[in-house]
Amino acid sequence: MTETRITLAHGNGGRLMRELIDDLFVRCLSSPGLDTHVDAARVNVPDEHGVLLVTTDGFTVQPLEYPGGNIGSLAVHGTVNDLAVAGATPAVLTVNVFIEEGLEVATLERLVTSMGTAAREAGVRIAAGDTKVVRRGEGGGVYFATTGIGARRAELDLGMHRIRPGDRLLVSGPVGDHGIAVMLAREQFGLKGEVASDQASVLPLTQALLDLDGLRFMRDPTRGGLATVACDIATVTRHGVRLRESAIPVRAEVSSVCEMLGYDPYYLACEGRVVAVVAEAAAADALSRWHRLPSGADARNIGFVTDAEARVILETTIGGERYLEELEDDPLPRIC
């Protein structure tokens, strides 16, 4: 590509769009087997006898780049993780890009290169894509949408329907890093910090538990954070959830920023953590499996499911209790 900025003509189906796709996307993604001349791409799912799963997610994070990641790698991790927590092994991804006229080509190259690296690391093939260019002022720089297809063993039964009173809630690591990292990267706050996003593929974490007898349910606490996962569990299962504040890992830097600005870290997005619900008898085994992984070193048992009222109660460090309510309005929009 000779241009340094994206123009509307890069989205119109002609020569410039072909150059954008061949020179930038194909090269930067370096995804073997990505054929840009077909209308639909073949999907080879690793386990031919498994159940096929699909998931999709859109990404509008601002700013586009922040410590620990960017919107390109996030668009891979987000969708890989939705398949991972459903117990699936991701096979292929498709990518949609909505680019705002005027975006620097160098920026786009960095984002797409990160996307390709994240996909290779997660073992997922980018099989198809589409690019649209929208007028200056209409696109926030760039939005991505990714759709993932994966396979799960047919006999694996995971879901909220399997959750019972007495089950334990585990979290794989500190919560809120992604939310705070993105927030600090927004110059409007005038704050600097050392917090990097936790964004990563959670496949090592989920696959470590798949053959665990007593594994009920897994979810990655993204938009709305840990508290929203707990609220969803209470709402859907009609059981209560009790969490112990003293057990929930939160980095000191994250706590400080939250105290300063009045945020609750339990509602902040993570992009590389897993909340797992397991039978009481399986909790120790699950935790020790996670502790053996680099990404699970700080995993903790943070609470349990009760047969009380279907709400989430936090037992505070000073011995009190407070409800964690369903999120009404996000303190940090555009976090993913």
Q: Of residues 127, 195, 234, 278, which one binds a second copy by CB under 8 A?
A: 127
User: Which two structure tokens, joined as six digits, stand for 8?
Assistant: 């509307």
- DSSP-derived letter for residue 217 is E
**Min dist. Cβ of residue 48 to a second copy (A):** 10
Contact 179, 62 (CB under 8 A): no
CA dihedral angle for residue 59, residue 251, residue 210, residue 56, rounded to 10 degrees? -10
CB of 236 or CB of 310, closer to a second copy = 236
Tell me the CA end-to-end span of the chain in Å, nearest whole number. 29
Q: Stretches 20-28, 130-138, 277-285, 313-321: which one binds a second copy (CB under 8 A)?
A: 130-138
Smaller CB separation from a second copy, 78 or 296: 78
Interacting span for a second copy (CB under 8 A) from 38-46, 115-123, 240-248, 302-310: 38-46
Q: Which is nearer to a second copy, 298 or 326 (CB)?
A: 326
Does 220 sit near a second copy (CB under 8 A)? yes
Minimum CB–partner distance for residue 62 and a second copy (Å): 9
273-332 residues in contact with a second copy (CB under 8 A) are: 326-330
Q: Which residue has the tokens 């569990």?
A: 233
Smallest gap, in angstroms, from Cβ of residue 222 to a second copy? 8
Q: Looking at beta carbons, which pairs linking 209-212 to residues 24 or more positions away fall under 8 Å?
A: 209/276, 209/278, 209/286, 209/289, 209/290, 210/87, 210/153, 210/156, 212/278, 212/282, 212/285, 212/286, 212/289
Of 219 and 242, which has the nearer Cβ to a second copy? 219
Among 3, 130, 211, 321, binds a second copy (CB under 8 A): 130
| 240 part of the interface to a second copy, by CB under 8 A | no
Pick from 23, 67, 110, 134 the residue near a second copy by CB under 8 A. Answer: 134
* 41 lines the binding site for a second copy (CB under 8 A): yes
* Residue of the chain from 131, 172, 201, 295 that contacts a second copy (CB under 8 A): 131
Per CB under 8 A, the segment of 194-202, 224-232, 249-257, 303-311 that binds a second copy is: 224-232
Give min distance, CB of 138 to a second copy, in A. Answer: 5
Tell whether residue 203 is a contact of a second copy (CB under 8 A): no
Please give the residues from 97 up to 126 whose contact with a second copy meets the rule CB under 8 A.
97-98
Q: Contact between 163 and a second copy (CB under 8 A)?
A: no
Q: How many residues bind a second copy (CB under 8 A)?
A: 75
Asked if 235 and 310 touch (Cβ cutoff 8 Å), the reply is: yes
Q: Which residues of 224-242 are buried (b: 16+ CB within 10 A; e: fewer)?
A: bbbbbbbbbbbeebebbbb
Q: Which residue has the tokens 């960017």?
A: 70
Q: What whole-number distance in Å separates Cα of residue 214 and Cα of residue 74?
A: 31
- Where b means 16+ CB within 10 Å and e means fewer, 150-171 reads bbbeeeeebeeeebeeebbbbb
User: If you search the block for the tokens 């769009």, which residue do you land on?
Assistant: 17
Residues composing the chain: 336
- Selected from 46, 123, 135, 260, the binder of a second copy by CB under 8 A is 135
CB 212 within 8 A of CB 156: no
96 lies in the site for a second copy, by CB under 8 A: yes
Q: Map residues 47-86 to x or -, x wherever contact with a second copy holds by CB under 8 A.
A: ----xxxxxxxxxx---------------------xx-xx
Q: Does the protein bind a second copy through residue 19 (CB under 8 A)? A: no
CB 277 within 8 Å of CB 216:
yes
